[in-house]
Chain A
Amino acid sequence: MTTADHTTTDGSGRLVAVGIGPGHPDGMTYRARQVLTSVDQIVGYQTYVDLLPPAVTDAVDTVYATPMTGEVDRTEAAVGRALDGHAVALIGSGDPNVYALGGLALELLESREIAPDTLDFEIVPGVPAAQSCAARLGAPLVTDTVSISLSDHLTPMADIEARLKAVAPAGFAIVLYNPWSSRRQENFQRCCEILLDHRDPETPVGIVHGAGRADEETAICTLAELPAMGERDILDMTATVIVGTEETRVFDEHMLTPRGYDTKYDY
């Protein structure tokens, strides 16, 4: 596959992990768009590739899309192509750090023992789901915050539970990624139990599905109502759940977590 036409000018490769944000073209940064239109190959999960505007996909030679479960294959393909001398963008939604492939790409590169100056590697940050979902809810995260993934694919459920138990009493707003799947409904229910052990049942909770996309859906409920939300379509693997603190209030269908609101402003 390696031909002179497709390699960078000095023969060395380039690998850029690019966060495309929530998924609509307007949610991408300048830097992301600039990189995507300057590489010759784009590698990504089919769903994210489908979200790219034609102006981007038309500008590259090759778009290599794989199914979701092919995380390692996809990252290996991107690394392999870059080491063959191509300029490759490995794309993902949100940000390359947040439960994404930036780390895996670096670990795979480490195992290849690349000589200095033979590969240009960059990570282009993007708007993560916590931020794009919080924006749809208003101002729920204007406080100290933790992100926790409820997927036990890579982290044992015992660790996830320990983290929930540690932060639930400590006043953080809590962002839950990968909150629900049919395969791990009990993780979600266990999470709700732990949160209810430590927080007021009236604590506001926001759920956002497909932030900024055509199928966007938003719901605000109380912590007491959260377990039953598992039955609703809005809650799936791609939804994001934001659990408020004791300061969080709901006004006009928005969540507000004021940060020292009474002292912050001359109000």
Chain B
Amino acid sequence: MTGTMSIVGIGPGLPEHLTQAAHDRIVTADAVIVSSLYQSFLESGDVLNPEDPDSPELITSAQGEQTALARTAFERVRAGEDIVHVSGGDPNVYGKSDLLFAIAAADGVDEIDIEVLPGVTAALGGAATLGAPLTSDFAVISLSERHVAWTEIEQRLRAATRAGFALAIYNGWRQLERAFGVIRDHRPETVPVAMLTDIARGDEGRAPTGESVATATLGSIPEAWLTRPTPGTTVIVGTEATRVIEIAGRPRLVTPRGDFDVEEL
């Protein structure tokens, strides 16, 4: 009998934001294909324990081998095994769910049902630590030029900024200064901005300083944000309506939904 093929989102970091469905799918798999970073998160939450004889087989994924690993995984599913691919955050957000569907389409694999288990995104995990900066319409944009040309990235930044979307910027550490330049053309310098590093990862992410949240305004971006390259960062840019408010001694970001006044609702 054919097995199952799943792509599972594990949320932004440590398994506190893992869904029950994702947890169950991972622990009951025959084999789990996972990067070493995400494996370390799952191990520290005791979701995976390679010492345990009942633990699924762990296959470390690395750049450049994804296609071969995916093809082997399809073979194993045909032979009856349950295979799980692990994605950070949600598999649809710059994850690898496209790879499996693309290979299935290219190879004409239609007898295996690929199931995607969604997860909490890095943008929303980060937004939660700030308060409520993404309650309005918002755009999710990656600054990585590996697959998309800068002219296109810039066009999207401009379109979203001009039309009043809050922004969640991924892979933002190489072209961040350039992106802020584009955003400043269309948004006031007083708009709140936040830099989120290794959210929900404690000390287990890649940043030497551990999980951190920093806020600034568009007109006063700290030099360190632009010169200290750290993978695992998400930048959130508020709208003209976003405010910093203090609740019980702690600053929070709020983007009100629409132009309403709370008192009049």
Cβ contact of B124, chosen from A95, A110, A114, A261, cutoff 8 A = A95
Q: Which residues does chain A contribute within 8 Å of B9, judged by CB atoms? A: 131
For the complex, give the distance between the alpha carbons of A258 and B265 in Å.
42
> Given the complex, which residues of B lie within 8 Å of A251, measured CB to CB?
101, 104-105
Q: Does B95 interact with chain A (Cβ within 8 Å)? A: yes
**How many inter-chain residue pairs (CB < 8 Å) link A and B?**
267
Report whether B118 and A135 are in contact in the complex, using a CB–CB cutoff of 8 Å.
yes
Q: Are A26 and B19 in contact (CB under 8 A)?
A: yes
Q: A97-B124, A103-B254 are in contact. Are A146 and B139 (CB under 8 A)?
A: yes
Q: Is the interface of B mostly helix, strand, loop or mixed?
A: mixed
> Do A125 and B125 have beta carbons less than 8 Å apart?
yes
B residues near A108, Cβ cutoff 8 Å: 262
Asked if B214 is an interface residue, CB under 8 A from chain A, the answer is no
Q: Which residues from chain B contact A111 at a C-beta distance below 8 Å? A: 262
Given A107-B256, A139-B91, A263-B147 in contact, is the A115-B248 Cβ separation under 8 Å? yes
Query: Could you tell me if B163 and A123 are in contact, using CB atoms closer than 8 angstroms?
Result: no
Residue pair A114, B119 in contact (C-beta under 8 Å):
no
- Asked if B152 lies at the interface with its beta carbon under 8 angstroms from chain A, I say yes
Q: Which segment, of B31-39, B48-56, B109-117, B205-213, faces chain A?
A: B109-117
| Cα-based distance from A74 to B140 in the complex (angstroms) | 30
Chain B residues within an 8 Å CB radius of A147: 137-139
Indicate the member of A95, A109, A169 with the most B CB atoms within 10 Å.
Answer: A95
* Chain A interface size, under 10 / 10 to 19 / 20 to 34 / 35 or more: 35 or more
A-contacting residues, B48-107, CB 8 Å: 64, 66-68, 90-95, 97-106
- Distance A249 CA – B104 CA, assembled complex (angstroms): 13
| Chain A, 98-118, CB within 8 A of any chain B CB | 98-100, 102-111, 114-118
B91 and A265 contact, CB distance less than 8 A = no
The complex places the Cα of A149 from the Cα of B105 at a distance, in Å, of 32
- Point out the residue from A31, A146, A154 that lies within 8 Å of B17, measured CB to CB: A31
Chain A residues close to B by CB (< 8 Å) = 19, 21-22, 25-31, 33-34, 71-72, 95-100, 102-111, 114-121, 123-128, 131-132, 134-136, 138-142, 144-149, 153-156, 159, 162-163, 165-167, 169-172, 249, 251-252, 254, 256-261, 263-267
With A29-B120, A264-B98 given, can you name 11 additional A-B contacts, CB distance below 8 Å?
Answer: A27-B19, A97-B128, A103-B254, A103-B255, A116-B249, A134-B116, A135-B118, A138-B114, A145-B140, A162-B164, A265-B66
B residues contacting A by CB (< 8 A) are: 9, 11-12, 15-21, 23-24, 64, 66-68, 90-95, 97-106, 110, 114, 116-121, 124-125, 127-129, 131-142, 146-148, 152, 155-156, 159-160, 162-165, 245-250, 252, 254-260, 262, 265
